[in-house]
């Protein structure tokens, strides 16, 4: 019998596992660290997300362990006659757990949730260096339709 991947909202006690996943990401370049002095920054971010009616932080759990995470945000724009849609952000599977269907289950969850809410689309961005992730998203039915830009502010 296969162990089921459980998707649930993240809890404060998941933070250390989530931080470790992000800190282990050598491609992201976000400066994440497991250093204890950074914990208050992560706690503030968690509280901000938890307080938002339009954002949700999730974890994927397998056999009682946090093995993946992602965040969703619902946004509404005036374009498309006031369309609301889901943005999928910060998708991460624990390094030693990749290739087990966890990422696919997390994205399927997002798509199912968006459909249930009557949203017309889900969208995400992915670091240009993540070629494996791009192939993964394309296998799931996403298409590279836009070019993203970013500007670091100091």
Q: Is the pTM of this model over 0.85?
A: yes
The share of the chain scoring above pLDDT 70, in percent, equals 96
Q: What is the pLDDT of residues 75-84, one digit of tens each?
A: 999 998 999 9
Identify the CATH homologous superfamily for domain 5-139.
Answer: Gcn5-related N-acetyltransferase (GNAT) (3.40.630.30)
DSSP conformation class of 4? P
User: Which residues contact residue 91 at a Cβ distance below 8 angstroms, ignoring those fewer than 6 apart?
Assistant: 68, 69, 70, 103, 106, 107, 124, 133
Q: What is the pLDDT of residues 52-74, one digit of tens each?
A: 999 999 999 999 999 999 999 99
């Amino acid at each position: 019998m296969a162990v089921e991947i459980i998707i649930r909202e993240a809890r404060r006690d998941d933070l250390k596992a989530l931080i470790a996943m992000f800190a282990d990401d050598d491609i992201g370049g976000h400066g994440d660290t497991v250093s204890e002095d950074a914990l208050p920054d992560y706690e503030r971010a968690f509280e901000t997300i938890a307080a938002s009616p339009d954002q949700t932080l999730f974890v994927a759990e397998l056999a009682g362990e946090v093995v993946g995470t992602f965040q969703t945000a619902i946004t509404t724009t005036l374009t498309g006659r006031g369309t609301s849609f889901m943005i999928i952000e910060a998708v991460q599977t624990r390094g030693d757990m990749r290739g087990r269907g966890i990422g696919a289950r997390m994205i399927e969850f997002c798509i199912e949730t968006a459909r249930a809410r009557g949203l017309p689309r889900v969208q995400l961005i992915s670091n240009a260096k993540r070629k494996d992730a791009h192939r993964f998203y394309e296998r799931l039915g996403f298409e590279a339709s836009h070019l993203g830009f970013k500007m670091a502010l100091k």
